[in-house]
C-alpha cells in the first residue's frame, strides 16, 4: 500500500478502497464547513433583520420627529429673530430669541414681560386674531412649518400696563407712572433715551395691554396709536407668548427677566387722588414728539426663524420615543412567538 494513503474499514470489517490523504482532508474540510454553516446563516439572518429594522425604524423616527416639531412650535416654544432696533439694547438687530407659548396658560401676563404678538387687528386694520381650537392651531402650525399660511405681522414689545392700570407720562422727573407709581427704567431703556417724548394718560381697558419699546426714541408702540380703537392698547388674545431668552449670537446669550421696577408692591394698589390729578394734568399737555422723530419710528418686529429649533427638539424627543416603541414591539413579538411555540408543542 503506497504511503500517504489510509484504508478505512467498511461495515464488514474488511478494508475499503484506499482514500488519498488529500481527498480525506477535503472531505473533512467540507464536513466542518457544513457544521459551521448554521452559525454563519444565523449571523447573516441577524444582519438582514438589522437592515430591515433600520429601514423600518428610520421613517418612524422621522415621522415622530416632525410631529413633535410641529407640536413644540405650535404649543410650546418658537424661535424668532429681531430685524429692527426699537427694542435696543435689550434686543439687538439679528438677535434670536425663544418665545414661551405655554406660560400664559399657567399665569397671567405680567408688567415687564417682553411679549410677541400679532399686529394684525391690534394696530393694523383688520380683524383681531383668534387662536382657534387646538386642531386649528395644529393645522396652522403644520402649514407654517413647511412655509405655507400667513404668520401675520408679528411684533415684540415690553408690557407696561395690564388691564385696569392707569399708565401716564410724565411725572415731575419725566418718568412713566403706573397707578401713580413711577417706573425706574434705567436698567433696560436705550442709553440716553427718555422714558417718553409723548405725553399720555390712559386706563388700560379689560382684556388689553399697554406696550412700549425699550428704545423709546424710535419705537412705534402704544403711544403712537392712541387714536386707534383701544386707545393704543393691544388685545391680550393677540399675544403669541413671552420672549424669555436670547439664544443667538452666543455672545449675547442671556435670560430676559422682568425688571425689578415692575416688582414694586405699590403698583398693585390704587393710586391716590393727587396722583390721579397729576396724571390728568400731564395728559392735557401737548405731545413733545416732533414730526422728524415720528418719521423715524420703527415697529419692533419679530420674524419667525427657520425651523431649526423645533426640528432639533423634535429629533431629540423622537430618539427615545422610537427606542421605547421598538422595545415594546420586540417584547410583544417575543411573547407571541413563545405562545405559538407552546401551542405547537402541546398535544
CB 176 within 8 A of CB 104: no
Do residues 153 and 113 touch, judged by C-beta distance below 8 A? Answer: no
Q: What is the pLDDT of residue 299?
A: 58
Rounded distance, CA 21 to CA 3, Å? 10
Could you tell me which of 132, 155, 164 has the C-alpha nearest to residue 239? 155
- What's the grid cell of residue 266? 405699590
Taking each helix axis from N to C end, the angle separating 308-345 and 21-71, rounded to the nearest 10 degrees, works out to 130
End-to-end CA gap in the chain: 58
pTM beyond 0.85, yes or no:
no
Q: Are 258 and 112 in contact (CB under 8 A)?
A: yes
Asked if 102 contacts 239 with a C-beta cutoff of 8 angstroms, the reply is no
CB of 156 closer than 8 Å to CB of 302: yes
Place of cell 393710586: 271
* Residues whose CB is less than 8 angstroms from the CB of residue 162 and which lie 6 or more positions away in sequence, other chains included: 108, 109, 110, 111, 204, 209
Query: Residues 145, 79: contact at Cβ < 8 Å?
Result: no
Under the phi-then-psi rule, with left for phi > 0, alpha for psi from -120 to 50, and beta for the rest, what region is 66?
alpha
Which is catalytic among the residues 86, 144, 196, 222?
86
Tell me the pLDDT of the chain (347 aa) as tens digits.
Answer: 444 444 444 444 444 455 455 555 445 544 544 444 455 566 765 566 655 566 777 787 788 788 888 888 888 998 899 988 999 999 999 999 999 999 999 999 999 999 999 888 778 666 666 666 777 777 777 666 666 666 668 899 999 999 999 999 999 999 999 999 999 999 999 999 999 999 999 999 999 999 999 999 989 999 999 988 888 999 999 999 999 999 999 999 999 999 999 999 999 875 433 344 344 433 433 333 333 334 455 555 565 655 666 666 666 666 676 677 677 777 877 788 777 777 766 65
Q: What secondary structure letter does DSSP report for 301?
A: B
The predicted structure's pLDDT at residue 261 = 96
Distances (CA, A) of 141 to 16, 104, 120, 135, 311: 85, 18, 17, 10, 13
Question: Using an 8 Å Cβ cutoff, are 145 and 304 in contact?
Answer: no
| C-alpha cell belonging to residue 174 | 419725566
Q: What is the dihedral of CA 161, 167, 172, 173, to 10 degrees?
A: 20
pLDDT at 89: 92
CB 302 within 8 A of CB 153: no
Conformational region of residue 93, where left means phi above 0, alpha means psi within -120 to 50, and beta covers everything else: beta
Annotated catalytic residue, options 84, 101, 122, 157: 157
C-alpha cell at 107: 399665569
Q: What was the pLDDT predicted at 308?
A: 66
Residue 295 burial by CB count (10 A; 0-12/13-18/19+): exposed, middle or buried?
exposed
pLDDT score recorded for residue 243:
97
Q: Is 157 assigned a catalytic role?
A: yes
Report residue 238 as a C-alpha cell: 393677540
What the chain holds in terms of domains, given with CATH numbers, is: 70-311 (2.10.109.10)
Task: Let me know: does 117 contact 239? Beta carbons within 8 Å.
Answer: yes
What pLDDT score does 153 carry?
80
**Radius of gyration over every alpha carbon of the chain, rounded to an integer in angstroms:** 36
For residue 159 the three cell numbers come to 408690557
Amino acid at each position: 500500500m503506497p504511503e500517504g494513503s489510509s484504508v478505512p474499514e467498511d461495515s464488514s470489517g474488511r478494508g475499503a478502497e484506499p482514500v488519498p490523504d488529500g481527498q480525506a482532508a477535503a472531505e473533512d474540510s467540507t464536513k466542518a464547513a457544513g457544521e459551521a454553516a448554521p452559525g454563519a446563516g444565523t449571523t447573516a439572518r441577524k444582519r438582514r433583520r438589522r437592515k430591515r429594522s433600520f429601514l423600518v425604524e428610520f421613517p418612524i423616527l422621522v415621522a415622530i420627529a416632525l410631529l413633535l416639531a410641529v407640536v413644540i412650535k405650535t404649543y410650546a416654544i418658537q424661535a424668532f429673530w429681531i430685524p429692527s432696533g426699537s427694542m435696543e439694547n435689550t434686543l439687538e438687530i439679528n438677535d434670536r430669541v425663544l418665545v414661551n407659548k405655554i406660560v400664559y396658560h399657567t399665569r397671567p401676563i405680567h408688567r415687564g414681560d417682553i411679549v410677541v404678538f400679532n399686529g394684525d387687528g391690534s394696530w393694523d386694520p383688520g380683524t383681531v386674531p383668534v387662536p382657534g381650537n387646538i386642531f386649528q392651531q395644529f393645522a396652522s402650525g403644520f402649514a407654517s412649518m413647511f412655509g405655507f399660511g400667513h404668520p401675520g405681522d408679528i411684533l415684540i414689545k415690553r408690557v407696561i400696563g395690564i388691564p385696569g392700570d392707569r399708565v401716564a407720562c410724565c411725572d415731575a422727573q419725566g418718568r412713566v407712572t403706573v397707578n401713580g407709581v413711577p417706573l425706574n427704567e434705567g436698567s433696560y431703556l436705550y442709553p440716553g433715551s427718555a422714558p417718553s417724548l409723548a405725553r399720555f394718560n390712559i386706563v388700560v381697558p379689560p382684556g388689553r395691554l399697554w406696550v412700549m419699546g425699550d428704545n423709546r426714541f424710535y419705537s412705534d408702540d402704544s403711544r403712537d396709536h392712541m387714536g386707534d380703537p383701544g386707545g393704543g392698547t393691544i388685545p391680550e388674545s393677540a399675544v403669541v407668548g413671552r420672549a424669555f431668552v436670547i439664544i443667538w449670537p452666543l455672545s449675547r446669550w442671556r435670560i430676559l427677566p422682568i425688571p425689578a421696577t415692575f416688582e414694586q408692591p405699590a403698583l398693585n394698589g390704587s393710586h391716590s387722588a393727587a396722583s390721579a390729578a397729576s396724571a390728568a394734568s400731564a395728559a392735557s399737555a401737548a405731545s413733545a414728539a416732533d414730526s422728524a422723530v415720528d418719521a423715524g419710528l420703527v415697529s419692533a418686529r419679530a420674524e419667525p426663524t427657520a425651523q431649526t429649533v423645533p426640528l432639533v427638539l423634535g429629533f431629540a424627543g423622537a430618539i427615545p420615543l422610537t427606542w421605547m416603541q421598538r422595545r415594546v414591539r420586540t417584547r410583544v413579538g417575543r411573547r407571541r412567538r413563545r405562545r405559538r411555540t407552546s401551542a405547537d408543542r402541546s398535544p
